[in-house]
Amino acid sequence: MITVVYFAWLRERIGTGREEIETQAKTVAQLVAELSAQDSYHAAAFADLRAVRVAVDQVLCDFDTPIAAAKEVAFFPPMTGG
């Protein structure tokens, strides 16, 4: 089981901020492919990955980051703090 969380327009497009899923994905990219195949909402949210950032266990990382030991993967747009 892995927790996947979404923020900002990804959360709105997918329709939830948090889901627990069973996955065989070994990397973030594989997880994205699995989620995108799930339904059109996920597919729409992940349509352009240049607009998506990812954190694994609350640390910013890349799409080729391994997630075998991860508890939480977060997807969100580029941050706009400050």
User: Which of residues 17 and 33 has its CB atom nearest to other proteins in the complex?
Assistant: 17
Long-range pairs for 67-72: beta carbons < 8 A, 24 or more residues apart: 67/2, 67/25, 67/26, 67/27, 67/28, 67/31, 68/26, 70/2, 71/2, 71/3, 72/2, 72/3, 72/4, 72/5
CB 60 within 8 A of CB 26: no
Q: 46 to 75, contacts with other proteins by CB under 8 A?
A: 55, 58-60, 72, 74
Asked if 7 touches other proteins (CB under 8 A), the answer is yes
In the complex, the smallest distance separating the C-beta of residue 62 from other proteins, rounded to whole angstroms, is 15
User: Which of residues 47 and 60 has its CB atom nearest to other proteins in the complex?
Assistant: 60
Q: Which residues bind other proteins (CB under 8 A)?
A: 5, 7-9, 11, 55, 58-60, 72, 74, 76-82
